[in-house]
Structure 1
């Protein structure tokens, strides 16, 4: 039990992971003057919150290492020499002719970048920039063009028989017992996956290949029949994932890389290749679960159920994405835009704990909450607390005021005493909540414990709110309904805040109900009865 209470660094899973990494590096006796962490960025489809998560979490480990006094950098590796396997949902059918070609040689269907691959990478990098993540960008196409992996490729190819047998034994894939684990780009048709390498001429560092029919996923892809020889030091080609990670780790001296459970087999094989073929200890890993959409399906570039950081930031702050990703790493999570109100309020709660406005009894929880807040602020927390307004209150107000929204909502907040003065920070949250109110209207239903008395009291209140006669003083009327039934008025107020704002507190309840609309609130309360 003692062991569990021991606090490492700032008390989060990120610190624990960085500490394990450091202990391992010391036991391996490796130099730690610069510890590189890596995140692989797919460039074959529209990047989503999950793709971003890989880099953001690796950056968290980099921050923790720096916090422990070590120099560290994040390599954001874009796999833009990868071939296009299928057309992602929502993208033009004209991409069909480019299936199997490296994504960096496919024209950008949106017309704004040099290639399809660069377009997709740029969306992800834009997301990282908006979150304040610092990285060194490394393109796959440059890595291969500049021969940065040529020694590793040579070592892998002279051991291809041994590797093929090991892959079959470890994960049951037998294809690399027949073919050499390398895809040249066919000199005739420019495709990658159809160029099947069948012999490595080690002395000349050249690959013999034939562009043959193959299947990608379960779909057939025709080869052009060209037979050629490719030079691994000069001609373009790439290693398959089953061995490429290992080559990268060795070439860039990578000490940490997280991975999603969908590529678990590839990582297992790469660890073996790294240690047994390239004599390079595999990086420390952490496996994370995939994000699911609200229907429980894996968020995926090809399925088109993509939730991008750009879409998210229309409604929530960058801090809410960082909180979502740094809260925890284990467990599959359904994630959607409707999580934003809760994350906005959760961030505020962490801030209140950090600045001592909320006191917790459990010291370990205080340390962890403060540590999480610091990581969400990329270990550069603000010196003073910024003004915050309950996000669900703002959604309700933004539904009332659609025109001239910011000044009118601000005026209400000043009347309620929720804020003392207007500010650019409050304007920003009103804008986000306004976008949410305009695009989504998903009422949040929280679990509320009710006894017979509170049901009666709420029933009486519904009758008064539904009547055409407006009470002279609604605040006092609500107070009196509770008193008459022997219920504490503060308990009734709390219940109403939970129903209206999914929160335990809020502005003065009478004016709030009048502003939102008595009949609308009556209908919301009725759903709980």
Structure 2
């Protein structure tokens, strides 16, 4: 792996590099000889993609920092799970929700695992689900459990300091609370010796010298507990600051919902003797309704759902792009993310270092992107190209099959010698496309009949393709595309005199011509570059598709498929 020149690294505008440069300056001022990156996870529900995104984005900043410092400053990424939090409500997406009701307000690592298996608690199960994916993706991280850190004494020194600085912490917290909450608030949350619940109760005494708190337990009796050894935890806002101080965290990013609290976290960290870390605030993800995704609701996508239909790299690209803009996180974003990743990967080797550092794949692959997989048709002297996810979705549709072997047959005819062994990324892409088409694309297709002008244009396209059908070597994608343009130019409806370079003798072609092709032949409002698609699907097959569309058979067959999905009346 070749590293980029340092002067280009120092000036590149990609957001991970901007954050890394600020972190370099922070360490230069402090004189600290290592950097700790941290991400947080609340295991109140199964991990969602937003959790993964936080780790992926932080890893991108960490890699940028590593290259900026020539690897001379050691770094560590700590993934911290707040699994000692009380279960305040039962998630909607767990089995037998009623069985968990007796465990409300108990630490998540004390709540039975509703999913079965070997994990001893709900918190342990959810932690394992997070680690499983992080390990699959190959993240370099250390996992930390709040339960383990509190109980093992890792936080004891700072918790004793919190007892000493109790009044100062209260002065930070009380102005942020309403009058009723102020009357009962305490930064310390004792774990009840009687019920095992995390208690939100006022303190009757905080003895800094003894390092203890006194409060009324669930049974009404006054109880005194040490603040050390896992007998208490901190409220979530003080907990943020305490953790930063205890671990000496240098960098942490969090969602916009934390932004207003960041000054509170910082101040408490400083009260407890720490230096607040560098922050990066990202926008929240939304579901298909525009609502914030939530672990407890289970809306939005899960990690496993994305990976059913697309690669981890496409997910990492989605996380990299525009982190400070709210983005919808639903199934319909997957195809574009896949194809954009392929486009970025293909352009990377042809770019200079300045553009490489602005290319997401440099950040996704920690500076060492894999070579793109390209194919070329037999006898094709044009630049080699990639088969896109969108193209495969349409191939699955018109081939009327999700049989992977049949789909490979089309590809081998287009590019002899291509196989799963020579193109393993393409092999996975075919499987993803077949599953995605069957679950999401096919039910939403809307074929329509051609009007008179469209029908005449499609018959002209059929005739133009007939002139290419028996070519040896086969017609290239560019030659086919030019025939499609020529047909459109001859139809007044599709002529575009405003197109660049257009003349009355040779007008441009409007998008209406291609929209008609997509809607009538593919049942889609948009589609791939049609010349490339025809080259892959085959000229003869495309002519048969045109005939089927003009006869109305395509529309009838799809209507029959939709009818078969309707529930049968009793």
- Residue 542 (structure 2) aligns with: 513
User: Against the structure 1 CA distance between its residues 339 and 444, is the aligned structure 2 distance closer, same or farther, given a 3 Å change threshold?
Assistant: farther
- Residue 370 (structure 2) aligns with: 382
> Does structure 1 residue 281 correspond to structure 2 residue 275?
yes
User: Partners in 1 of 2:295 and 2:152 — Cα distance?
Assistant: 29
Asked if structure 2 preserves the Cα contact closer than 8 Å seen for 1:171 and 1:265, the reply is no
Deviation at 1:61, TM superposition (A): 1.4
> Does structure 1 residue 8 correspond to structure 2 residue 37?
no
Asked if structure 1 preserves the Cα contact closer than 8 Å seen for 2:457 and 2:491, the reply is no
Q: TM-score, normalised by structure 1?
A: 0.82
User: Against the structure 1 CA distance between its residues 404 and 272, is the aligned structure 2 distance closer, same or farther, given a 3 Å change threshold?
Assistant: closer
Q: Which moved more, 1:374-383 or 1:295-304?
A: 374-383
Secondary structure at the counterpart of residue 285 of structure 1: strand
Q: Which moved more, 1:18-27 or 1:381-390?
A: 381-390
> Does structure 1 residue 337 correspond to structure 2 residue 331?
yes
> Does structure 1 residue 295 correspond to structure 2 residue 321?
no
Deviation at 1:284, TM superposition (A): 0.2
Secondary structure at the counterpart of residue 314 of structure 1: helix
Asked if structure 2 preserves the Cα contact closer than 8 Å seen for 1:106 and 1:116, the reply is yes
User: Against the structure 1 CA distance between its residues 480 and 274, is the aligned structure 2 distance closer, same or farther, given a 3 Å change threshold?
Assistant: closer
- Residue 366 (structure 1) aligns with: 355
Deviation at 1:418, TM superposition (A): 9.1
- Residue 495 (structure 1) aligns with: 514
User: Partners in 2 of 1:342 and 1:351 — Cα distance?
Assistant: 14
> Does structure 1 residue 461 correspond to structure 2 residue 457?
yes
- Residue 345 (structure 2) aligns with: 351
Deviation at 1:439, TM superposition (A): 1.2
Deviation at 1:88, TM superposition (A): 1.2
Of residues 75, 80, 90, the one that matches 2:93 is: 90
Of residues 304, 309, 313, the one that matches 2:303 is: 309
Q: TM-score, normalised by structure 2?
A: 0.77
Deviation at 1:236, TM superposition (A): 2.6
- Residue 49 (structure 2) aligns with: 49
Of residues 94, 106, 111, the one that matches 2:111 is: 106
Q: Which moved more, 1:434-443 or 1:131-140?
A: 434-443
Asked if structure 2 preserves the Cα contact closer than 8 Å seen for 1:180 and 1:200, the reply is no
Secondary structure at the counterpart of residue 355 of structure 1: helix
User: Partners in 1 of 2:550 and 2:77 — Cα distance?
Assistant: 50
Secondary structure at the counterpart of residue 209 of structure 1: strand
User: Partners in 2 of 1:313 and 1:55 — Cα distance?
Assistant: 17
- Residue 193 (structure 2) aligns with: 187
Secondary structure at the counterpart of residue 294 of structure 2: coil
Deviation at 1:71, TM superposition (A): 1.9
- For residues 264-307 of structure 1, the C-alpha deviation after alignment (integer angstroms, 9 at most, x for no partner) is 343321101112x1232200001111100011000001222141
Deviation at 1:195, TM superposition (A): 5.2
User: Partners in 2 of 1:410 and 1:161 — Cα distance?
Assistant: 70
User: Structure 2: which 5+ runs fail to align?
Assistant: 1-6, 376-385, 446-450, 470-479, 496-505, 556-570
Deviation at 1:462, TM superposition (A): 5.1
Deviation at 1:413, TM superposition (A): 1.5
> Does structure 1 residue 323 correspond to structure 2 residue 317?
yes
Asked if structure 2 preserves the Cα contact closer than 8 Å seen for 1:316 and 1:432, the reply is yes
- For residues 169-208 of structure 1, the C-alpha deviation after alignment (integer angstroms, 9 at most, x for no partner) is 3566773564431111100111003455332122221111
Q: Which moved more, 1:261-270 or 1:86-95?
A: 261-270
User: Structure 1: which 5+ runs fail to align?
Assistant: 212-222, 446-454
> Does structure 1 residue 260 correspond to structure 2 residue 249?
no
Secondary structure at the counterpart of residue 313 of structure 1: helix
Asked if structure 2 preserves the Cα contact closer than 8 Å seen for 1:88 and 1:303, the reply is yes
How many residues matched?
A: 491
Secondary structure at the counterpart of residue 528 of structure 2: coil
1:129-148 correspondence to structure 2 within 5 Å: 129-148=135-154
Secondary structure at the counterpart of residue 54 of structure 1: helix
- Residue 416 (structure 1) aligns with: 414
> Radius of gyration: which is bigger?
2
Secondary structure at the counterpart of residue 533 of structure 2: coil
Secondary structure at the counterpart of residue 294 of structure 1: coil
Asked if structure 2 preserves the Cα contact closer than 8 Å seen for 1:105 and 1:116, the reply is yes
User: Partners in 2 of 1:122 and 1:383 — Cα distance?
Assistant: 33
Of residues 111, 116, 120, the one that matches 2:122 is: 116
Secondary structure at the counterpart of residue 302 of structure 1: coil
Deviation at 1:30, TM superposition (A): 3.1
- Residue 270 (structure 1) aligns with: 265
User: Against the structure 1 CA distance between its residues 137 and 396, is the aligned structure 2 distance closer, same or farther, given a 3 Å change threshold?
Assistant: same
The Cα RMSD (Å) is 3.6
Asked if structure 2 preserves the Cα contact closer than 8 Å seen for 1:157 and 1:181, the reply is no
Asked if structure 2 preserves the Cα contact closer than 8 Å seen for 1:288 and 1:331, the reply is yes
